[in-house]
Amino acid sequence: MTTRLCLVTVLSLVAASASSALACSPREFIVYFAAGSAEPSPASAEAFFTVIDEVASYAREARRVEVIGHADGAGAANYNLELSKMRAGQVRSLLIARGVDLTKITMQARGETMPAVAAGEFSEPLNRRVTFAIEWDRLATGALAANCALIPPPSSQ
């Protein structure tokens, strides 16, 4: 069996297989959180669950879903690591409640180590987030088919 990989995060990407790869058009799934919390930020609360529903529709067809929690630089590094773990856990629970097989979901907590916006020790709303990486091992169907196409692998020149 060949493995096809598409990371659905800021940069969408492709992994090669022996004869072809599944390329997904760029999609960005990010949910944002309130400062010091694993609850949606007030500014994104309305869209938060819509994004979770869309991620779940992709994730149900996926082989693996990685939920990656992040935090801003306000506060101690250990606290931010735990907070990013809580955020990823909250999203994982929401995906499971929407029918995603819990055995497909892995989590990472990045704390303040990978900011979306350089802000140092300051509170930055764009850094309080969860991103996703979704991997498939078969051709896309349903919602995935609209965003993916079979392409040849890169040449080995």
For the chain, list the domains and their CATH numbers: 29-148 (3.30.1330.60)
User: Global pTM?
Assistant: 0.73
| Burial class of 120 by CB neighbour count within 10 A (0 to 12, 13 to 18, 19+) | exposed
Q: How confident is the model at residue 142 (pLDDT cuts 50, 70, 90)?
A: low
Q: What tens digit of pLDDT does each residue of 6-59 get?
A: 333 332 222 323 334 444 544 668 999 999 999 999 888 889 999 999 999 988
Q: How far apart are CA 127 and CA 35, in angstroms?
A: 10
Q: What tens digit of pLDDT does each residue of 87-123 get?
A: 999 999 999 999 999 999 999 999 999 999 998 888 8
Statement: residue 144 has pLDDT above 60: no
Mean of pLDDT values over 131-148: 63
Mean of pLDDT values over 132-139: 74
